[in-house]
Structure 1
Amino acid sequence: MNDVAPQDSSDEGGTVLSTTDSGPIPAAATDEVVRICQELLRIDSTNTGDNDTSVGERAAAEYGAAQLAEVGIDSFLTESAPGRASLLARIPGADASRPPLLVHGHLDVVPADPSEWRVHPFSGEVRDGYVWGRGAVDMKDFDAMVLALVRQWRRTGWVPPRDIVLAFFADEEAGSTYGAHHVIEHHASWFEGVTEAIGEVGGYSVSVSDDLRLYLIQTAEKGLNWMRLTARGAPGHGSMVHDDNAVAALCRAVARISAHEFPVELTPTVRRFLDEVSDAYGVPLDPEKPEQVIATLGPMARAIGATVRNTANPTMLSAGYKTNVVPGEAHATVDGRALPGHEDRFLAEIQRLAGAGVEIAYEQHQPALETDFNGPLVDAMAESLRHYDAGARPVPYMMFGGTDGKALSRLGIRHFGFAPLKLPADLDFTGLFHGVDERVPVDALRFGVRVLERFFAHC
């Protein structure tokens, strides 16, 4: 049975990708996921944050469409700008009266310098039990799991309990303007009735002992506040006294922001997570000083440490055009991340630190998210993990970065990070996000497919 794209009221163009005759019956999904992940990683879909220098996601979207079409699933491809493509599809379920479940990933990746890597970042090479490449954990691994699963469903005739909406978005790595936000604004009919979604970043394990692993399911993420600071002063000759120097004013503002330590503020998600970690490791939790508990998490401590307070990091500086000329303007960018419920105070504090003479404009200003760790969907996640790992202990956590969940929240969709991976105890998983030598264990990919298959059967 072919799926049909919903009627869309937008007058913006899109491409309906029709099904084709299926080829030879492929291997089971747990084997096929490795091939699909490799092939996705070989597609350079680098997102620099600039349309003129980004490679674009269209090739990855077309690849996903071809994988779906091969087993008889129609999909819909739409571009927000040349090459900036997102892909949508719908798998009919057994009970059309139930709200559909949205399963989403993104197709873009951050840049990678091949000279810094042990393997080429777009090789998709399998080495030492890992699939290597930019996007291996962020997040073409999950894209591959989903594609492998739905292909198996169609080959075997299995029908999920409810409709599954698939979305593979562009531009997540630069704020989702050309991806999830664009799709929601122009093709909202695809999400009609959807109340819940799964995507990145969660469901991965942190080993406590040989027989206990915490599986972190994302129920919260910090707000996205990318700011551009501008200081203005009197331009003139560099040899004269300049009390009104834009560069000096900007540097003072940046230094104050960089040196400021925001106070510890535990949201409900983070407090429950730390309680779980405290219990698992037998380390008492002091809510005013959670560092002792966080330290038990080893390499992951740095990422979790970013979820107990607001953060603001200067990232770029620009000013001037000649050594002996004092410029009239100076600019800096700051990556600010605010906790749920704390954004107004955070932004007021940034303005105070910058100073009255420094203007702040927002390149991206998107909300923090937090939802409860309960309900049938959470129960299905927990059961599916425990089924395949007797040592699994699912816990909620806050994502230190952001996801397309921010865009989906505009439609009232409750987002969970659930891309399940059972990881080696010594792997610095969070350090691989946007890092060099990004890779995902082959066994973890196969584990993820099995867990997701059971999850979808009970969701």
Structure 2
Amino acid sequence: MIEPVEDLCARLIRFDTTNRGHGQATGERAAAELVADRLTDAGLKPRLLERAPGRSNVVTRVSGARPELPALLVHAHLDVVPADADEWAVHPFAGEIRDGWVWGRGAVDMKDMVATVLTVAARWAEEGRVPERDVVLAFVADEEDTGFYGAHWLVDDHADLFEGCAAAIGESGGHTVPVRRPDGSLVRLYPVGTAERGVSHLLLTATGRAGHGSRRNDDNAVVKLVDALHRLAAHPWPVRLTPAVRAFIERTAAALGVPVDLATEEGVAATIARFGPAAKLVENTVRNSTRPTVLSAGYKVNVIPSVAQAQVDTRVLPGTQDDLLADVDRLLGPGVRREFISHQPPVQARVDSPWFDAMAVALRTHDPAAVVVPYCMGGGTDAKAFSRLGVECFGFAPLLLPEGFDYRAMAHGVDERVPVDGLRFGVEVLDRFLSG
């Protein structure tokens, strides 16, 4: 008998797979072994691969009835961000099921999808079914840091595992976003990720002349850096409507019955403001961003240092990178140099494609009122790794969510949880999509 998806999700949460970044992680091994066991029980032959001990990835291929069709990749990560138990109503790794919800770190990011995918595989085995095309399942390490032990390593060293994959689905899409029309009627949007902003984390270094803090110094590295950061933070990055963003705005506005004005920046802002909860899906992706996050300078209050540094979280829309970096260099000014801490280009799939259409059909099969729209993710996922193989990557991890539930606040937040009914819905939608 197949284990209920909510029980499997809770079981996965109980493995503490915390990733603190900079290579400091509890490790994914225990969770990966459970995943491998479930895949073996489903008649598959999973491979467990590690770049370093304990940093485990599990990959397997489900053979389809028509192997000549392009294969599909499903990827999900096993690691989670840290959680402070003192801040939570339940222990973040208790994996408690309470009042129709599964609680714990990873409930929506993203052990929920691990559980729904494994449940679909178990169902196929029990019912003697196979998908139409080959489906590669990859459960990976280290997404919450750099992917050095996970997806990026697999792409670099084990690309053969993904041979024939034309498209991929992963986290951050396919979940319900309930929104009210002006007349009060409810619309259930389902955003599917067709793009991601790129990640260009920058290290800025200002140099100057060291000296005593009590004396005039017109070559102060700290002042140069602060001035440059102020120019970056205050700069009004222009609105750039990429295909995914434009399609999201136009189709969401049509579903809600609200006017659209994309002719000016003010018009774009006014249009988005009419979207209610759905505004959060697009407000950060109409433009690039440069946000200072880390500062480092000096060692003593009465000493002017010769070097000051800052880190800037820079997010880049598809097709805008050259313009952005040229503007950054202009804003930094003399005496401040930049270098990349990490640099992962934007990801962009087709807004209208057979893959997107199939996802929409799967959602509408189980929610006939579903309004499926493309969108651009503001952050990043392992799609940045798999897209390097020429794979068209989408965010599609379906969940049915109730009105008033702040799904976006759950990822990396306190009291992370997912509804049991939402998980069961996800299994049905994934089964429909992956079987086709």
Bucket of the pairwise TM-score, normalised by the shorter protein:
over 0.9
Structure 1 residue 286 corresponds to structure 2 residue 266: no
Alignment counterpart, residue 46 of structure 1, candidates 9, 18, 28:
18
* Pairs aligned (count): 429
1:365 shift after superposition? 0.7
Q: Structure 2 counterpart of 1:448, which letter?
A: G
Q: Structure 1 residues 325 and 128 mapped into 2: Cα distance closer, same or farther (>3 Å)?
A: farther
Superposition pairs for residues 66-145 of structure 1, below 5 Å?
66-145=37-116
Structure 1 residue 456 corresponds to structure 2 residue 430: no
Structure 1 residue 249 corresponds to structure 2 residue 224: yes
1-side partners of 2:281 and 2:186: how far apart?
A: 24
Alignment counterpart, residue 271 of structure 1, candidates 237, 240, 246:
246
Contact 2:39–2:122, Cα closer than 8 Å, also in 1: yes
Residues 128-181 of structure 1 show CA distances to partners (whole Å, capped at 9, x for unaligned) of 322122221111111111011112212222111111101112121223222111
SS at match of 1:336: strand
Q: Structure 1 counterpart of 2:249, which letter?
A: L
1:211 shift after superposition? 5.3
1:303 shift after superposition? 4.1
Corresponding residue of 1:171: 142
Superposition pairs for residues 242-391 of structure 1, below 5 Å?
242-287=217-262, 288=264, 289-391=267-369
Contact 1:219–1:373, Cα closer than 8 Å, also in 2: yes
1:63 shift after superposition? 2.1
Q: Structure 1 counterpart of 2:212, which letter?
A: H
2-side partners of 1:234 and 1:128: how far apart?
A: 62
* Range with greater deviation from structure 2 (256-265 or 321-330): 321-330
Contact 1:208–1:280, Cα closer than 8 Å, also in 2: no
Contact 1:86–1:167, Cα closer than 8 Å, also in 2: yes
1:297 shift after superposition? 3.3
* Range with greater deviation from structure 2 (282-291 or 407-416): 282-291
Q: Structure 1 residues 82 and 244 mapped into 2: Cα distance closer, same or farther (>3 Å)?
A: farther
Contact 1:105–1:200, Cα closer than 8 Å, also in 2: yes
Corresponding residue of 2:165: 194
1:396 shift after superposition? 0.7
1-side partners of 2:186 and 2:367: how far apart?
A: 9
Structure 1 residue 438 corresponds to structure 2 residue 409: no
2-side partners of 1:54 and 1:235: how far apart?
A: 38
Q: Structure 2 counterpart of 1:278, which letter?
A: A
Alignment counterpart, residue 2 of structure 2, candidates 26, 29, 40:
26
Corresponding residue of 1:238: 213
Contact 1:47–1:108, Cα closer than 8 Å, also in 2: yes
RMSD: 1.6
1-side partners of 2:152 and 2:170: how far apart?
A: 16
2-side partners of 1:456 and 1:206: how far apart?
A: 23
Q: Structure 1 counterpart of 2:110, which letter?
A: M
* Range with greater deviation from structure 2 (326-335 or 207-216): 207-216
2-side partners of 1:216 and 1:48: how far apart?
A: 29
* Range with greater deviation from structure 2 (234-243 or 314-323): 234-243
2-side partners of 1:236 and 1:85: how far apart?
A: 50
Contact 1:277–1:293, Cα closer than 8 Å, also in 2: no
Contact 2:281–2:375, Cα closer than 8 Å, also in 1: no
2-side partners of 1:268 and 1:377: how far apart?
A: 16
1:317 shift after superposition? 1.1
Corresponding residue of 1:229: 204
Contact 1:340–1:368, Cα closer than 8 Å, also in 2: yes
Residues 88-131 of structure 1 show CA distances to partners (whole Å, capped at 9, x for unaligned) of 11111111222221111111212222222222222222233221
1-side partners of 2:279 and 2:95: how far apart?
A: 29
Q: Structure 2 counterpart of 1:46, which letter?
A: T
2-side partners of 1:58 and 1:352: how far apart?
A: 46
- The two structures have a TM-score, normalised by structure 1, of 0.90
| Structure 1 unaligned residues grouped into runs of 5+ | 1-24
Q: Structure 2 counterpart of 1:315, which letter?
A: T
- The two structures have a TM-score, normalised by structure 2, of 0.94
| Structure 2 unaligned residues grouped into runs of 5+ | none
2-side partners of 1:130 and 1:298: how far apart?
A: 25
Contact 1:225–1:364, Cα closer than 8 Å, also in 2: yes
1-side partners of 2:47 and 2:329: how far apart?
A: 43
1:199 shift after superposition? 1.0
1:377 shift after superposition? 2.1
Q: Structure 2 counterpart of 1:226, which letter?
A: H
Corresponding residue of 1:19: none
Q: Structure 1 residues 112 and 86 mapped into 2: Cα distance closer, same or farther (>3 Å)?
A: same
Q: Structure 1 counterpart of 2:113, which letter?
A: F
SS at match of 2:339: strand
Q: Structure 2 counterpart of 1:411, which letter?
A: L
SS at match of 1:353: helix
Q: Structure 1 residues 83 and 245 mapped into 2: Cα distance closer, same or farther (>3 Å)?
A: farther
Q: Structure 1 counterpart of 2:194, which letter?
A: T
Q: Structure 1 counterpart of 2:276, which letter?
A: G
Identity in percent:
52
Structure 1 segments, 4+ long, off by >6 Å, are none
Corresponding residue of 1:14: none
2-side partners of 1:271 and 1:239: how far apart?
A: 54
Residues 370-390 of structure 1 show CA distances to partners (whole Å, capped at 9, x for unaligned) of 222333322221111111112
